[in-house]
Amino acid sequence: MDLFELEIGNSPLIISAPHSGTYVPEHILFNFTEDGKDLADTDWYVDKLYHSYAKKNDATFLRANYSRYVIDLNRPPNNESLYPGQAKIPLCPDITFKNTPVYRDGLDPDEEEISERIKKYWRPYHNRLAQQIERVVAIHGFALLLDAHSIKRNIPLLFEGDLPDLNIGTANGASCDDARMQAAAKALEGTDYSHVINGRFIGGYITRHHGNPDQNVHAMQMEICRDLYMDEDGFFYRIERAEKLIAALETMLDAFAHHS
């Protein structure tokens, strides 16, 4: 299994989908609990929501093939918390969002195993993303990165209550020019979806690390509530829901990509 799939485009836009993969190597899967084997915290189908837009608009598209339970590509390699004071999901997740164990008793990866996974799975993805950003900046003088995610609307382990439909994160403005972010958000005002900027999710490691407006790299994370395009518990993709959502996302991406 390839670590990721990369489709190279020549527009300023790069779309990253680090959590839509579902492959788990057999020697790791063997150690999982039944809840772990469900891979319930996958960003199911999120790559499908953006792929057509990427093709039509000559955007670069990077999608991980391995499950986030192998290693979470949106966490820092030193395993520090992205949201201090709140529940922490580590680099190699040991619990699900339901707060149940991923691994059977005594079979969690040790430090040596985690270090090996960083080397084998984590670094290649980030190195390739960095290479594509550098390439795009060389062509256009700037790069635009959308980090694509989805999540259940209500996860008590991580936050209270329900999330808005669409959750934009720019590390509280540190990863993206404010005017470009506001243009993307304003485009959503004409849709049927609620949205928030830098609410519960302000962007993970990918947005915070790769976004650098001073170097003309503008990164934005989009966290979508999964019930907008699928059944949250049955994991079924709902085409009619998805098509409506895709139209809104494309409107937002147009504003993000073409704002100047």
Which alpha helices (DSSP H) does 8-75 contain, by range?
26-29, 34-38, 46-56
Beta carbons of 21 and 1 less than 8 angstroms apart: no
Beta carbons of 199 and 221 less than 8 angstroms apart: no
Angle, helices 239-258/46-56, rounded to nearest 10 degrees: 50
Confidence of residue 260 (pLDDT cuts 50, 70, 90): low
Q: What domains are there in the chain, each with its CATH number?
A: 4-258 (3.40.630.40)
* Percent of the chain residues past pLDDT 90, beyond the cut: 92
| Residue whose structure tokens are 């772990």 | 36
pLDDT per residue as tens digits for the range 153-191: 999 999 999 999 999 999 999 999 999 999 999 999 989
Q: What is the pTM of this model?
A: 0.97
Quote the CA–CA distance of 188 and 25 in Å, as a whole number: 39
